[in-house]
Homo-oligomer: A and B are copies of this chain.
């Protein structure tokens, strides 16, 4: 594998970053990810099921997440569990740094404080 650099994946789409964030908590299945994202965004931006599952397929292809073969016993058979790969963690962190930089700029340019 020739010299992986997380930056080539940036910027992540808002949806992709939401999903990686959901998995930062630990392995999870699709529907839970959907709920986690929609909880956190507080109905501001509803993530649709179709969008989620297709995004998961893409993240798998890119090797940012992987599916677990082992699953909890007595669990709903339909569920498919995912976790972040090392690569996925690296990319999510890089994106977080990028966003932190943007916020720093926003702050420096007085976008965040006071007025209108």
Binding site for B on A (CB under 8 A): 7, 10-11, 14, 17-18, 21, 24-25, 40-41, 44-45, 86, 89-90, 92-93, 96, 98-103, 105-106, 109-112, 116
Contact = CB atoms under 8 A, between A and B. Distances in A.
22 contacts: A11-B14, A18-B102, A21-B102, A21-B105, A21-B106, A21-B109, A24-B109, A24-B110, A25-B109, A40-B101, A40-B105, A41-B98, A86-B116, A89-B111, A89-B116, A90-B116, A92-B111, A96-B102, A96-B111, A99-B103, A100-B103, A103-B103
Contacts of A98: 41, 44
Kindly list the 8 A-B residue pairs having the minimum CB-CB distance in the complex, ordered from nearest.
A11-B14, A24-B109, A24-B111, A96-B106, A7-B44, A99-B99, A25-B109, A21-B105
Contacts of A25: 109
Specify how many copies of this chain sit in the oligomer: 2
A30 to B, nearest CB: 18
A17 B96 contact: no
A3 to B, nearest CB: 16
